[in-house]
Amino acid sequence: MYIKGVGMTNFSIEEHSSNHLIHETTMETLDDSGMTMNDVDAVVISNNDILSNGERQRHSSSMISSLFQKKMPIVAVPAGCAGGGTALWTASKLHKTGKYNNILVIGFEKMVSNISKRVTDEMLMGAERVYEQAEGMNFPAANALVAQQYMLKYGATSDDLALVAYKNHKNAFSNPKARFYKKKVSLEDIKKSPIVASPLRLYDCSIPANGASSLIISKDKTDIEIIGSTEETDYLAPFERENMTSWDASKKAAEEAYKEAGISPEDVDVAEIHDAFTSVELISYEDLGFCKKGEGKELIRKGITNIDGKMPVNASGGLKAKGHPISATGVSQIYELTKQMRNQAGERQVSDIKYALAQNIGGAGSTVTVHILKKVNN
């Protein structure tokens, strides 16, 4: 299973219709693939059922059919923030049936088309409703509790979280598709930003955006092969789990992906990680096997995950600074890794890549997908 082509809109606050976003990213993907919609055999699409974007349209599969005037299998896969990765995982399963040669995968979302309160309430529908939401528990608060436990247990500090944010903002500065493109954010800015939910400050939280991303997987050999594609699910609320500072779904998805790909964590040359909050990036270093439990802080302190480090993470700027249009995020991670592996990443180019990893998380570790890509010598 190979990546034929990729596309992505700017992640921004610009107001466009969903159809506009989908059309823009798909046209870029088709152009990158040297294909037309007539070459596409099936589509897997992901977006959340959000009324807040003002479009009041939940039948996205038929919306795609109308947009491109094409009748074919179109599957909608909403999975919260893990929607994009889950769409690709679903497409990989369809591909293995042998019935579909070229499958288009699309993730899209409009996050800044309404007031924050309405968007926040819609997003909370991806979290536990009876106990947490009833008591005012939103995603920053839930992740703050996780961060507190992690810091107490392993000695990480707010300065470590700030280094994650600073790294990702530096990377996004050179990413033309990122919401923080050419916008400088200093370490002092990060450390002095207001507390959202202690210990998380404003710059510890990912930034919403409008945007879309897409790709085409194919049986036809290209320069990039998907050699691992896994999805795992855990209990909805963090309080239901034995350990809040390590997410079983992430660990298991990674273990299965490495096994499927026939590689180890040490083989990964570059990764795009779901840094919805800076603390999640530190925890993910460990859950993905890049270091031992509790040692994630050492990777960021020593610059190992910097763009010029031994194992660069989030060269795109991550959700933190590239932007996080929910269902588009997981697909945009593959976009970034494909550009990196094709030496098309410009100023943020990572050298000598053979293996790349993408991790996409829904909820507070509730659903996780991991994809591993391999550079193929043609």
Active-site residue set: 81, 324
Burial of residue 108 (number of CB atoms within 10 Å: 0-12, 13-18, 19+):
buried
Residue 85: how many other CB atoms lie within 10 Å: 35
Q: Long-range contacts made by residues 21-28, C-beta under 8 angstroms, separation at least 24?
A: 21/108, 21/110, 21/210, 21/211, 21/212, 22/64, 22/67, 22/106, 22/108, 22/212, 22/214, 23/67, 24/212, 25/106, 25/108, 25/212, 25/213, 25/214, 26/68, 26/104, 26/106, 26/214, 28/214
Residue 206 CA to residue 179 CA, distance in Å, equals 11
> Residue 267: which residues within 8 A CB-CB, separation 6 or more?
354, 355
Looking at residue 351, the DSSP 8-state letter turns out to be S
